[in-house]
Structure 1
Amino acid sequence: MAIWVDKEQCVACGACESACPFGAIVMEADKAVITEACTACGACVSTCPVTAIIRDVEEAVTAIDKAAYKDVWVYIEHADGQARNVGFELLGEGRKLADSMGQKLAGIIVGDKVEQLVKAVFANGADKVYLVEGKEFAKYTTDAYTAVFTDLITDYKPSVILMGATINGRDLGPRVACRVGTGLTADCTDLGIDEQTGLVAWTRPAFGGNIMATILCPEHRPQMGTVRPNVFKRPQPDFGRTGEVIRVSSTVKPEAVRTKVIEAVQVCTGSCNLEESEIIVSGGRGMGKPENFVLIEELAAVLGGAVGASRAVIDAGWKPHPHQVGQTGKTVGPKVYIACGISGAIQHVAGMSSSDTIIAINKDADAPIFKVADYGIVGDVMEVLPALTEEFKKAKQ
C-alpha cells in the first residue's frame, strides 16, 4: 500500500500536513510532499479537500490452491526431555478445530532423541506425529528450527499451525510465516471457527488490551498463530490412543546454522516458573515496599509454589519481569492463585482469571479483585500473610 500526491490537484492548503500523526508530510515549492516517515495510515487521504492525495492498494495476491492444504498442526515444544504444557493445551484446542473442519490433528516434534514424547502427544489427542530428529536440533536454534519447519510445511501443506507464545514460539512463528508467505496472529487468547467463512478465528488483545480483535487469514495458507500458555486447559490424556508416526529426514546442513548454544544459564529459579506451577502467590503495590515481598516468598515456599507480581510491581523495579502476571506479562492457570495487595485491574485479571481457585487478600473491600475471587480476605496483607504462612506450616507438619 502506498500514499502519493497528485501535484496537479494539490493546492498546498496544509490540511494534510496538520492531519498527519507522524509528521510525514511537508510543504515544498507550494506542493505537499510525502516523506519516508509515512506509514500509509490514510489520515491525510480523507482530510484533503481537493482529493489530491491518493492511496494505492497493492495488486491482489497470487491465488493459491487452498484445497491442497489440510490438517491442524501443533508444535510440541520441549526442554530437558519433557514436553512443555502449552503443547498439550494446544492439542486439546487443536482437536476441537480439527473436528470442526473435518481434518486430522498432528503434533510436530523436532529435537534429538525425543521419540519418547510421541506417546504423550497421541494421548492428548493427536492423530499423527511428524518426528524430526538430529543432533543439530538438540538445542533450539532459530536457523535450524526455521529451516526444518519451512521444509515440513512445503512438503505436507498443513491448513492450520498452532504454536505456544513462549520465548521460542515467538521467535520461530513469525520467521516461519515469513518464509512460507503467510500471516501470523500473535499472542492469541481464544480460538474458534468463523461461521461464515469456515476459517480459524484468532482472538487477541489489541490497543493495550482495551479491545479484543478477531483476525482471519482468508488468502494465505497455512493459517498460523501463537497462543499464550495457560489460556486453555490441558485435556485429560488417554494413553490407550495411538496414531501414525511420520519420520522425516532433516535436510538442514550444519553450515546453515549460524549460531551454536554454548551454555544455558538459568537466570530465574523455580520461584518464577509461573507457567508450570500449580500454586502461585502474587503481590501488588499493596505490599507497600519491595522488602515486604519476603512475605510472599515465604508463603510460596511453604506451599511449593511460584512468586508472581502485578505490572505496577515490575514497573517499580521490585521484581524482575519473569514474575509478571497479566496481559503484558504471563498468562497463568494454576490450581490456586493467591492475589495479595492486588487491586484487580482488567489487564492483571486477564492473565490469571483461568485459575481454578482464586484467593484475594486486600484491605479495600471494594477492590475489583474480589469480583473474580472464589475466596476473599479483607485485611492488611502484612498481618494476614504471616498468619497464613504459619497455619500452612502447622498443617504440613
Structure 2
Amino acid sequence: MILIFTEVADGAIKKSSLEAIYYGSKVAEMLGTSAVALAIGKANTSELAKAGSFGAIKVLHANDSKLDVANSMAYATVLAEAVKSTGAKVVISAKSSFADAVTARAAGTLKAAVVGNVIELPNVMNGFQVKVSIFTGKAFAEVNVKSEIKILAIKKNAVVPIESGNSATVETISPALSDNLFLAKITETIKATGTVSLPEADLVVSGGRGMKGPENWQPLLDLADALGAATACSKPVSDLDWRPHHEHVGQTGIKVSPNLYIACGISGAIQHLAGVNSSKVIVVINKDPEAPFFKAADYGIVGDVFDILPKLTKAVLAGK
C-alpha cells in the first residue's frame, strides 16, 4: 500500500497534496497496490472524498479535536501509526515546511529514509531510484532508496494531476494521543491576508526595489488581481517594510514553484533566484537591460514597470 500524508486547509485538501495523491496513485499502479490518503485535523468529509478523483481509494481521517491545530509532533505520531497499521512501505507527501517537519519525525520512529524534492516517478526496474532536484533547482540527482520504508516529498508542480471524477471512501481513525505530544501550545495563529496563498499559487506577481516605494504598489496589485495571482516581493522590499514579510520569496524566504512568475523591478540577485527558479515560466520586467534576472527569464520586457504594468492589466482584463 502507498500512504499519502495529506495537508488540509479550510476544510479541504491543499492543491499540492492533491498532486501528491495523484503521484502516489501512479506509484501504486507501478507496484501493483493501492493508494490511501491520510488527512489529519478538521476537514469536510465531502472535500476529503475528492481524493478519489486523484487516485486514492480511501482517506483515513484523524479528526480528534486536539489535532485541529497543526502540531508536527502529534501529526508525526499519527502518521507513524498509520504506516504501521496499513503496512505501507512507501509514504508520499507534498514538499512543504510543515510536511518536512512531520515526515522527518515520523521517519525517526519508522527508521525510514526521507527523500525530498522528488520530481519524477521512481524507477523500480532494479531497486527503487528517484530523481530529485538539488542545488535550488540548478541540478538533478538520482537517489537509490534502500530502506524498507521510504518517504518521498514531491516538489510542487512536478506532476500534472488528471482528475477522474471518482470518489474515495472516508474512514475515521482514532490514534492514541498522549498528553506529552501537546506540551507546546500554539496560542495564536495569524494567517497571511489575501485571496491567494503564496506557497500554493500557480501565478505570482512579485515586486522589487524598482517599485520605488510602498505607495507605488497599486499597479502591481491590479495586475495580480486581474490574473488571480498571489503577490510577492524581494528580500530588500520586505526588509524596508514596503511589503509584509510573508510575501518575501527567495533563499531565506518562501520558495515558490508557480506556472508563471512575473518579476517587476527585481534585479535578480542569486538569493532571490534560489527561491523562484523552479517556476515553469519566468517573465522579467526591468528598465535595466543588464539586470541579471534577464539571464534566468523565459521572457523579458525592458522598460519602466509603471508604464508596462497598467498595459498588461488592461490586456488581461480585455481578454476575459
Which TM class, normalised by the smaller chain length?
0.7 to 0.9
Q: CA deviation at 1:199?
A: 0.9
The answer to whether the Cα contact below 8 Å between 2:58 and 2:170 also exists between their aligned partners in 1 is yes
- The SS at the match of 2:120 is strand
Q: CA deviation at 1:248?
A: 2.8
Structure 1 unaligned spans of 5+? 1-70
Aligned match of 1:203:
132
Select the residue among 179, 192, 198 that pairs with 1:274: 198
Report the CA distance shift for 1:72/1:256 in structure 2 as closer, same or farther (over 3 A): same
- The SS at the match of 1:161 is strand
Which whole-Å CA distance do the structure 2 matches of 1:310 and 1:214 have between them?
Answer: 32
**2:282 is the alignment partner of 1:363:** no
- The SS at the match of 1:276 is coil
Report the CA distance shift for 1:260/1:380 in structure 2 as closer, same or farther (over 3 A): same
Which whole-Å CA distance do the structure 2 matches of 1:394 and 1:190 have between them?
Answer: 34
**2:78 is the alignment partner of 1:148:** yes
Aligned match of 2:163:
237
Q: What does 1:126-137 align with in structure 2 at a 5 Å threshold?
A: 126-137=56-67
**2:182 is the alignment partner of 1:252:** no
Which whole-Å CA distance do the structure 2 matches of 1:264 and 1:123 have between them?
Answer: 31
Which whole-Å CA distance do the structure 2 matches of 1:93 and 1:393 have between them?
Answer: 33
Report the CA distance shift for 1:276/1:365 in structure 2 as closer, same or farther (over 3 A): same
What is the root-mean-square deviation in Å for CA atoms of aligned residues?
3.5
Rg (Cα) greater in structure: 1
Q: CA deviation at 1:193?
A: 1.9
**2:12 is the alignment partner of 1:94:** no
The answer to whether the Cα contact below 8 Å between 2:285 and 2:300 also exists between their aligned partners in 1 is yes
Report the CA distance shift for 1:225/1:318 in structure 2 as closer, same or farther (over 3 A): farther
- The SS at the match of 1:238 is coil
Instruction: Give CA deviations for 1:114-149 in whole Å, capped at 9, x if unaligned.
Output: 422332100111133223232222222233222221
The answer to whether the Cα contact below 8 Å between 1:274 and 1:332 also exists between their aligned partners in 2 is no
Which whole-Å CA distance do the structure 1 matches of 2:176 and 2:39 have between them?
Answer: 16
Aligned match of 1:10:
none
Q: CA deviation at 1:175?
A: 0.9
- The SS at the match of 2:163 is coil
Length-normalised TM-score, structure 2: 0.81
Which whole-Å CA distance do the structure 2 matches of 1:155 and 1:257 have between them?
Answer: 23
Select the residue among 194, 215, 237 that pairs with 2:143: 215
**2:40 is the alignment partner of 1:110:** yes
Quote the sequence identity (%). Answer: 30
Which whole-Å CA distance do the structure 2 matches of 1:384 and 1:270 have between them?
Answer: 24
**2:52 is the alignment partner of 1:122:** yes
Which whole-Å CA distance do the structure 2 matches of 1:312 and 1:205 have between them?
Answer: 26
Which whole-Å CA distance do the structure 2 matches of 1:308 and 1:271 have between them?
Answer: 13
Aligned residue pairs: how many? 319
Which whole-Å CA distance do the structure 1 matches of 2:107 and 2:13 have between them?
Answer: 23
Q: What residue identity is the alignment partner of 1:251?
A: A
